[in-house]
Structure 1
C-alpha cells in the first residue's frame, strides 16, 4: 500500500494528468483504507471548485 505522502502526491498529480491504471488502483485502495487521505482528497476537490469558480468570475457570474 502507498504511504500517505505518496497518495497525496498522486492526488495532486491527478489534477494535472491522467494517472495510469496502476496508480489509480493503488490510490483508490489507499483512500479506501485511510480516512485522513479521504479528507484531504475532499478538501482538494473543494479548493479546485472554488478556484475554478473564482477564475470564471466568481459566484456572481454563475448566477447571471
Structure 2
C-alpha cells in the first residue's frame, strides 16, 4: 500500500489533471483502506468546488 503522503499528492493532482491509470488504481486502493485519506479526499473536493464557485462568481461580478 502506498503512503498517505503519496495518496495526498495524488488527491491534489487529480483536481488539476487526469491521473494515469496506475495512479488512479493506486489511489483507489489506498482510499479503500484508509479512512483518514478518504476524509481528506472529500475535503479536497469540497474546497475545489468552493474555489471554482467563487471564481465563477467573481467573473460574473466583473461583467
Indicate the residue corresponding to 1:18 in structure 2.
18
Q: In structure 1, list runs of 5 or more residues that go unmatched.
A: none
Give the paired residue count. 59
Q: In structure 2, list runs of 5 or more residues that go unmatched.
A: none
Q: CA deviation at 1:11?
A: 0.7
Deviation string, structure 1 residues 1-49 (Cα, Å, up to 9, x no partner): 1100000001111112111111100000000000000000000111011
How does the TM-score come out when normalised to structure 2? 0.87
Q: CA deviation at 1:56?
A: 0.9
Q: What secondary structure does 1:56 align onto?
A: helix
Q: CA RMSD in A?
A: 1.3
Indicate the residue corresponding to 1:54 in structure 2.
54
Q: Which has the higher contact order (CA 8 A, sep 6+)?
A: 2
